[in-house]
Every structure is written in C-alpha cells, then in structure tokens.
Amino acid sequence: MAAMVACRYNPEMAEFYGRLKERGKPHKIAVTAVMRKLVVTANALLRDRRAWEDRTEAAAS
C-alpha cells in the first residue's frame, strides 16, 4: 500500500514508476521496484539516524 501511495503522491517515486512503465515493465514489477526503493531509503535513514526531508515544491512553500 505504501508503494501505491508513493507512486501517486511522491514526485520522485512517481517519476521512477513512470520510467519503469515507459520501459515496458508490468504494473506489478514497477510497484515492487518502488516498494524496494522505499525500504532501502527507510533503512538508510535509520542507519544514518536522519529524518525524512520532503523536497517537493509544496514543502518549500
């Protein structure tokens, strides 16, 4: 579920998902790749003891 929400509302993940779909990947494979990217990102944040930084234009306002 988190990967689906990320594909819809997170610009970076939506772009990543879109690139995969353009290359002809099926929906399930593309969402699984987004899922893995989220897990890797979360693990890196925990490892470095950092908080998530929203880099979207809405957060900058």
Say what the pLDDT of residue 55 is: 79
* Residue 24 maps to a domain: yes
* Residue 56 maps to a domain: no
Confidence category of residue 38, pLDDT binned at 50, 70, 90 = very high
List the structure tokens of 21. 């779909």
* Residue 51 maps to a domain: no
Count of structural domains, the chain = 1
* Residue 11 maps to a domain: yes
* Residue 53 maps to a domain: no
Q: What gap in Å lies between CA 51 and CA 33, rounded to an integer? A: 22
Predicted TM-score (pTM) of the model is 0.84
Confidence category of residue 58, pLDDT binned at 50, 70, 90 = low
* Residue 15 maps to a domain: yes
3-35 tens-digit pLDDT:
999 999 999 999 999 999 999 999 999 999 999
Q: What gap in Å lies between CA 49 and CA 4, rounded to an integer? A: 26
* Residue 57 maps to a domain: no
Structural domain of 24: 2-44
